């Protein structure tokens, strides 16, 4: 006989690529967790409920609340969820309730955050921000959330004041996979000195960025630059360009970098090179803390 899991509620982090769920007690304990690759990007509208039930079906034993965040609430998602407008707290109670076939399911999607000028949007990161702030009350400063679309977020008085999205991660993938540089940067290795030099070079002469890209190919052809070195340099050029553009965010601020190990470390290192020390925070744990804070507000 297997143990029966009877959670009080279910937390769901539902992004473009993956779905991750936790069976939760009211006390905030994790009773079980599961994940799949059924992200928003792979699902048509009527595929979301089956994808959710695949993971949580065994935890349902009567009516239950599901709190979800992320791209599940995008226009191409399960149901388009609202946006809060800055300035606003992160992950407010402006939930969007989803219509489900299964009458036991009560699914609430956390609102994203939008900014009119400059135009910007986030879905999912607001929940990580809420989780971070629930653990760090009265924290003022700037949160950086690295990823395909890195967000820089100015926090003051427990509100999101402004934010800006940078596509450096996705640019790195597009350049590495779909330009002539694919021959030059195909490597899993890392050359920290090349990365750091490229950060400093782009920060001091950001207007030269476009001149450096094809050089990665030519350095390989003419001077046998290794793919490892070229890959590290490309990463440094792109993150350096991001830091140059994001300078109004991080300069002179308290900084927290929230994210998975490797990519977050690259940002922390790059900021350190600019004399801007940053604290690194694990992304998974703050996501769950944010979903928990949202659940408490819903029940509150």
224 touches a copy of itself (CB under 8 A): no
- Strands 105-109, 112-115: parallel, antiparallel or unpaired by DSSP? unpaired
Of 32 and 244, which has the nearer Cβ to a copy of itself? 244
211 touches a copy of itself (CB under 8 A): yes
Spell out the alpha helix ranges (H) of the chain.
48-56, 125-135, 168-178, 182-185, 192-204, 209-223, 227-245, 247-250, 261-273, 283-299
Q: Which of 173, 192, 251, 260 binds a copy of itself (CB under 8 A)?
A: 173
Binding marks (x or -) toward a copy of itself, 253..292, rule CB under 8 A?
A: ----------------------------------------
31 touches a copy of itself (CB under 8 A): no
Sole window of 6-14, 113-121, 130-138, 139-147 interacting with a copy of itself (rule: CB under 8 A): 113-121
Q: Which of 31, 121, 197, 273 binds a copy of itself (CB under 8 A)?
A: 121
116 touches a copy of itself (CB under 8 A): yes
Please name which of 41, 33, 32, 45 lies closest in space to residue 14, comparing C-alpha atoms.
41
Tokens describing residue 219: 């350095």
Q: Which of 12, 246, 288, 294 binds a copy of itself (CB under 8 A)?
A: 246
Of 213 and 298, which has the nearer Cβ to a copy of itself? 213
Tokens describing residue 119: 């135009």
4 touches a copy of itself (CB under 8 A): no
Rounded to whole angstroms, how far apart are CA atoms 57 and 208? 54
Rounded to whole angstroms, how far apart are CA atoms 92 and 292? 12
167 touches a copy of itself (CB under 8 A): yes
Please name which of 81, 12, 22, 23 lies closest in space to residue 49, comparing C-alpha atoms.
12
For 40, which DSSP code? G
Please name which of 75, 17, 11, 68 lies closest in space to residue 41, comparing C-alpha atoms.
17
DSSP labels for 181-248? Answer: THHHH--S---HHHHHHHHHHHHH-GGGHHHHHHHHHHHHHHH---HHHHHHHHHHHHHHHHHHHTHH
> With b meaning 16 or more CB within 10 Å and e meaning fewer, what string describes 206-229?
eeebeebbeebbebbeeeebebbb
Q: Which of 1, 103, 157, 222 binds a copy of itself (CB under 8 A)?
A: 222
Q: Which of 56, 111, 242, 256 binds a copy of itself (CB under 8 A)?
A: 242
214 touches a copy of itself (CB under 8 A): yes
218 touches a copy of itself (CB under 8 A): yes
Q: Which of 36, 65, 187, 215 binds a copy of itself (CB under 8 A)?
A: 215
92 touches a copy of itself (CB under 8 A): no
Q: Which of 177, 189, 261, 277 binds a copy of itself (CB under 8 A)?
A: 177
Residues that bind a copy of itself (CB under 8 A): 75, 114-116, 118-121, 149, 164-168, 170-171, 173-175, 177-181, 206-211, 213-215, 217-219, 221-223, 225, 238, 241-242, 244-247
């Amino acid at each position: 006989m297997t143990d029966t899991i009877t959670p009080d509620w279910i937390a769901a982090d539902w992004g473009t690529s993956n779905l991750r769920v936790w069976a939760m007690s009211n006390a905030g304990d994790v009773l079980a967790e599961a994940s799949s690759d059924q992200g928003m990007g792979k699902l048509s509208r009527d595929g979301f409920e089956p994808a959710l039930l695949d993971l949580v079906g065994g935890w349902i034993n009567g009516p239950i609340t599901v709190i979800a965040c992320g791209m599940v609430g995008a226009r191409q998602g399960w149901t388009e969820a609202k946006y809060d407008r800055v300035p606003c707290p992160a992950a407010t109670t402006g939930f969007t309730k989803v219509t489900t076939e299964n009458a036991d399911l009560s699914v609430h999607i956390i609102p994203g955050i939008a900014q009119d000028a400059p135009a910007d949007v986030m879905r999912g990161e607001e929940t990580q921000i809420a989780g971070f702030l629930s653990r760090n009350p009265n924290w003022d400063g700037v949160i950086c959330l690295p990823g395909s679309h890195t967000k820089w977020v100015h926090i003051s008085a427990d509100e999101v004041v402004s934010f800006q999205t940078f596509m450096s991660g996705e640019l790195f993938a597009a350049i590495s996979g779909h330009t002539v540089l694919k021959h030059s940067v195909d490597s899993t290795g890392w050359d920290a000195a090349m990365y750091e030099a490229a950060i400093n070079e782009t920060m001091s002469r950001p207007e030269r960025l476009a001149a450096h890209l094809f050089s990665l190919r030519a350095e390989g052809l003419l001077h046998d630059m290794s793919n490892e070195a070229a890959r590290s340099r490309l990463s440094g050029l792109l993150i350096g360009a991001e830091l140059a553009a994001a300078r109004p965010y991080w300069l002179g601020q308290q900084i927290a970098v929230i994210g998975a190990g490797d990519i977050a470390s690259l940002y922390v290192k790059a900021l350190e090179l600019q004399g801007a020390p940053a604290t690194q925070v694990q992304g998974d744990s703050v996501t769950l803390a944010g979903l928990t804070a949202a659940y408490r507000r819903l029940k509150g």
